[in-house]
């Protein structure tokens, strides 16, 4: 078990500050705002005319989902997983990871150069990219550092957002990279492409050409509108199911070659040291994973009885085929209901009814994907990868429920 020495009073205090002074507990997603909303609510809304039309919609002032920024220009912001329904992340809540802030790019002056081992080196402007037949798909995007806070020095007061907020799902629209490669004519022997961003970090990664043939996109659309600046406006590389870092934002250049380029981001960073002293390179696919987002810290269950356990599962290798949930610390496992659509390389919502008998227990979820891969335990992951690793933390997450209804992050068993 993780350290659960945190006192009930301290927990209540932090739970209260997390969800608003007037709400010591909440069920489902009904959330009491921290401050009174800046609108006047009439006693009877049928007795007064409503608000007028508007050019741009806004959230109800009663709803205040927020990302949590960690760092400033160089850093990341975490998506509020516990506040989301279904599988889509609203674009303004999509997690962010920038190595040197968000560049300001004029779409009228945007250019993407494709060169190297090609017949016709070409510069595409945004209009040219949009003239090609487009595709739209829902895909998750996840930073490979996601989940690091649940691997070492585990604290009980972690929320789903603080544990796994570096994953989000959007509907991405763009042109398949394969289409652009047919246009420029790739030369025989081409094996790798370099993708380079137009930000101050000039982020660059080598990608195997097979991924371009499979499903890679140059994306310019997100959830029905243009990409958000934070997501790479006006265009980014989207590599479905592959570690966030390789999905180069603000993409300005693709160079095709017969070998990887060995950039900083794939040599000194984004490699996985193994216990035998070697390091795993180019570990692109995000392994199957799941997390229960309700109930989770700082929720306090008000009484024994029925609750719907809910969460998300995803795999970079295809569809989620099942999610098993245990409400007794892993002794018995029950298949959760997978909410349709269950899409490849996309968040999948799972749900399962649970009758809490008021006793202390641990809730666990375990995802399996269509390749048969099963989400490992923390122990399995630690023995395969050691403690020095910084990426790909897809072990089973555990929520400890105490007799007083408090829920805290903990260890399995
Ligand atoms: N040009 C550029 N591309 C980038 C980055 C960056 O800093 N610069 N960050 C990468 C990392 S580490 C991740 S996890 C994803 C995050 O994408 P998002 O900010 O749209 O969520 O973008 C990747 N692409
Ligand atoms: Mo990342």
For 355-395, the pLDDT digits (tens) are 999 999 999 999 999 999 999 999 999 999 988 889 999 99
What is the domain partition of the chain in residue ranges? 1-32+279-413, 96-142+169-270
Helix-strand-coil split of the chain, %, nearest 5: 15, 30, 50
pTM above threshold 0.85: yes
Ligand 1 atom at shortest distance from the alpha carbon of 99 = 7
Ranges under pLDDT 50 in the chain: 1-34, 413
Instruction: Report whether the peptide linkage leading into residue 198 is cis, meaning its omega lies within 30 degrees of zero.
Output: no
Find the residues whose C-beta lies inside 6 A of ligand 1.
94-99, 141, 143, 197, 199, 201, 203, 230-231, 244-245, 247-250
Handedness of CA 223, 224, 230, 232 (dihedral sign): positive
Nearest to 195 by CA among 119, 249, 270: 249
Domain 96-142+169-270 superfamily per CATH: Oxidoreductase, molybdopterin-binding domain (3.90.420.10)
**pLDDT value of position 277:** 87
pLDDT of 412: 63
Give the residue, by CA position, lying nearest to ligand 1 atom 11: 245
CATH number of 1-32+279-413: 2.60.40.650
Give the per-residue pLDDT at 23. 34
Task: State the maximum Cα–Cα separation within the chain, in Å, rounded to a whole number.
Answer: 73
Q: How far apart are the CA of 70 and the centre of ligand 2, in A? A: 13
For the chain, the average pLDDT equals 91
């Amino acid at each position: 078990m993780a350290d659960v020495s945190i006192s009930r009073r301290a927990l209540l205090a932090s739970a209260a500050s997390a969800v608003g002074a007037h709400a010591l507990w909440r069920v489902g997603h009904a959330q009491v705002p921290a401050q009174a909303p800046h609108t006047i609510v009439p006693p009877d809304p049928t007795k007064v005319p409503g608000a007028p039309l508007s050019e741009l919609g806004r959230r109800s002032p009663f709803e205040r989902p927020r990302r949590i920024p960690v760092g400033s220009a160089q850093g990341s912001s975490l998506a509020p997983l516990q506040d989301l329904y279904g599988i889509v992340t609203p674009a303004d809540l999509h997690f962010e990871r920038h190595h040197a802030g968000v560049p300001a790019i004029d779409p009228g002056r945007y250019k993407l150069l494709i060169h190297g081992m090609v017949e016709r080196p070409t510069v595409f402007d945004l209009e040219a990219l949009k003239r090609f037949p487009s595709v739209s798909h829902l895909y998750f995007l996840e930073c490979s550092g996601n989940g690091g806070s649940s691997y070492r020095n585990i604290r009980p007061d972690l929320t789903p957002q603080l544990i796994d907020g570096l994953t989000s799902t959007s509907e991405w629209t763009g042109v398949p990279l394969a289409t652009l490669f047919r246009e420029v004519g790739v030369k025989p022997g081409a094996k790798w492409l370099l993708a380079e961003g137009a930000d101050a970090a000039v982020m660059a990664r080598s990608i195997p050409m097979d991924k371009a043939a499979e499903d890679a996109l140059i994306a310019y659309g997100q959830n029905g509108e243009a990409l958000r600046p934070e997501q790479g406006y006006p265009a980014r590389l989207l590599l479905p199911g592959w570690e966030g870092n390789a999905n180069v934002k603000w993409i300005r250049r693709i160079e095709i070659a017969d070998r990887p380029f060995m950039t900083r981001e794939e040599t000194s960073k984004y490699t996985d040291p193994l216990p035998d002293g070697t390091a795993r390179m180019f570990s692109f696919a995000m392994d199957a994973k799941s997390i229960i987002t309700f109930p989770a810290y700082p929720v306090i269950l008000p009484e024994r009885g029925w609750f719907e356990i809910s969460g998300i599962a995803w795999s970079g290798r295809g569809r989620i085929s099942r999610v098993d949930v245990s409400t007794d610390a892993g002794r018995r496992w029950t298949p959760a209901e997978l909410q349709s659509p269950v899409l490849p390389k996309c968040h999948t919502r799972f749900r399962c009814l649970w009758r809490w008998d008021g006793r202390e227990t641990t809730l666990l979820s375990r995802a399996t994907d269509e390749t048969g891969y099963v989400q490992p335990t923390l122990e399995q992951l630690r023995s395969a990868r050691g403690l020095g690793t910084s990426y790909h933390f897809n072990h089973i997450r555990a929520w400890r429920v105490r007799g007083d209804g408090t829920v805290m992050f903990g260890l399995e068993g």
